[in-house]
Copies of this chain bind each other. A is one copy, B any other.
Amino acid sequence: MSDVTRNVALVAGGAGFIGSHLCRALLERGHEVICLDNLQTARPSNLRGLEQLPGFHFVEADVVNPLPAGVTARAARISRVYNLACAASPPHYQADPEHTMLTNVIGTHHLLRLAEQTGARFLLTSTSEVYGDPEMHPQQEEYRGSVNCTGPRACYDEGKRAAEALTFDYARLGRAEVRVARIFNTYGPNMDPEDGRVVSNLICQALAGGDITIHGDGTQTRSFCYVSDMVDGLIRLMESDIDGLEPVNLGNPIELTVNELLERIRSIVATHGHVVHLPLPQDDPRRRRPDISRAAAMLGWAPTVQVDFGLARTAEWFAGEIGVDSPLRLSEAAE
């Protein structure tokens, strides 16, 4: 790729779970990729495999600080800015809530300024957390949400809502062309086994063969989107010709209770562990399911990966990652 081609995608948070898959997909589509990450919650192993690929540049920096030379020196060739930078699991984002808020607000501010200066298109990965513990079900983009702005999840939820507000103001003022995705629960390889998400928790506990913990009675629901579907949705949204003044839900509308999820995992990973119930965390949403009719209409997008296939691929990856032998049922289910 010649130096005059303006085909560089900046992926802030590119060493994270979704970010690392996005970097790879963008490289496959012919982009040069700058992966900007502070490695706060990203797993350095996510960069393995990427760093060997032509056109991939890793820059270690925190988006709360002014953008480093590794970005600004290439600014004239940046045509796409994806902002995925933020710790995304509650234990991680609550460890330093002030940094979580600043990452969302100041990070987005820095990246929007870059988009304005370069003319690059900007995509914010917002979150289903902007709906809080929703009273509307499934959640449409018009729903204003039920977020407790004084609680321990607010640093993330309100940080993302503030980042959306900033982003749409840039669009309204003609300062940047923007896209906003509201990402629902996503799973797959490259997740952090330690980050406290329900899919990784249950799979890793099943693989380890010990007790399995469920918060609450397990009747709360989630919708789980496999990461390749999510990355496809993000790129479609970025490349679409929509006017960008509305957020777009991306997620899998198939709703499972946590108990049902565990049954699916048990059909893949042989395990005899007992289920132990723990209290629900404060402000934990009871139900969460995206209405994706906007994404379907605007982007022609819908998830295609079946949950049993996705869980099997994820369990297989976790088995390798945490160094347990593939459990009995794994190979049958994954094929």
Contacts and interface: CB of A to CB of B under 8 A. Distances in A.
Contact of A158 (B97, B150, B161, B180): B161
A113 to B, nearest CB: 9
A169 B180 CA distance: 27
Contacts of A155: 165-166, 169
A173 B247 CA distance: 33
A168 B155 CA distance: 10
A21 to B, nearest CB: 27
Grouping DSSP codes into helix (H, G, I), strand (E, B) and loop, the A interface class, with mixed when no group exceeds half, is helix
B162 A150 contact: no
A132 B106 contact: no
A164 to B, nearest CB: 5
Nearest to A154: B165
Interface string A208-246: 000000000000000000000000000000000000011
Contact of A161 (B161, B170, B172, B180): B161
Contacts of A151: 168
A152 B166 CA distance: 10
Contacts of A325: none
Contacts of A173: 97
Contacts of A157: 165
A144 B152 contact: no
A166 B166 CA distance: 17
Contact of A164 (B97, B102, B146, B149): B149
How many copies of this chain?
Answer: 2
A145 interface: yes
B101 A162 contact: yes
A251 interface: no
A191 to B, nearest CB: 26
A233 B157 CA distance: 30
B149 A161 contact: yes
Contact of A146 (B144, B150, B168): B144
A61 interface: no
Nearest to A148: B144
6 contacts: A101-B169, A145-B149, A149-B161, A149-B164, A158-B158, A158-B164
Interface of A: 97-98, 101-102, 105-106, 109, 130, 132, 144-152, 154-155, 157-159, 161-162, 164-166, 168-170, 172-173, 180, 245-247
Given A98-B169, A150-B246, A151-B168, 20 more contacts: A97-B165, A97-B166, A97-B172, A98-B170, A101-B162, A101-B165, A101-B169, A106-B106, A144-B146, A145-B147, A149-B162, A150-B165, A150-B180, A154-B169, A155-B169, A158-B158, A158-B164, A158-B165, A159-B162, A162-B162
